[in-house]
Amino acid sequence: MIADLYDYDGTICPGDTGSAFYLYCLARRPYILIFLPFQLLGGLCYKLHILDSFSRRCSIHCYMRAINAPRLAERFAKKRVQKTFAYFLRRDQSRPAVVCSASPAFLLQPICAQLGVAHLIATDVDPHTGRIRTPVCKGARKVEFLHRALPDTVYARVYSDSLRHDAPILRLGTQAFLVRRGTVRELQNLDKA
């Protein structure tokens, strides 16, 4: 299969989906603030190198125990999809779109369905507990996730908002593009970046 590959946060839509979902939930379920001390403690432990990134992310999502996250994610998707960058809406649809993201898969699934994305590869987070069930799909690990899920896929175009975090997936494409605030520019000499 020949496909186009996209990061999601900052590439298809501005900002971080997990943070936007948290604020969306907070506005509708303000009682989730009771989890804030635990979340802040998790952040402090991460900064002091007591917790790793995986454990830190688990502490961030702990509020999901107190809400119906799948139902809220469906409602959130309707609002989030409206913020999609225009270039993505005008993309060449002759090739399937693949989205690979560190964001929770259950948050991106309804968004990707509305956008006509063929394949979603993302971090598996239990929407009922906030517990992360797989390694976080980021950096070089994205390439592992992609090869496992879509082993025979060739990527014609790869889009990301971050050379620093997504250089491994950008190198998978015949063409690579950097997206900044919805503006796309082709990258040249990626091996030197």
Q: What domains are defined for the chain?
A: 2-16+77-192 (3.40.50.1000), 19-67 (no CATH)
pTM of the full predicted structure? 0.89
| 107 and 16 Cβ atoms separated by less than 8 Å | no
φ, ψ for residue 95, nearest 5 deg: -115, 145
How confident is the model at residue 59, as a pLDDT? 72
- d(CA 138, CA 91) in angstroms, rounded, equals 24
Q: Which of 163, 164, 159 is nearest to 184 (CA)?
A: 159
Q: What is the pLDDT of residues 130-184, one digit of tens each?
A: 988 888 899 999 999 999 999 999 999 999 999 888 999 999 999 999 999 999 9
For 52-75, what is the mean pLDDT?
Answer: 83
φ, ψ for residue 157, nearest 5 deg: -135, 140
How confident is the model at residue 192, as a pLDDT? 46
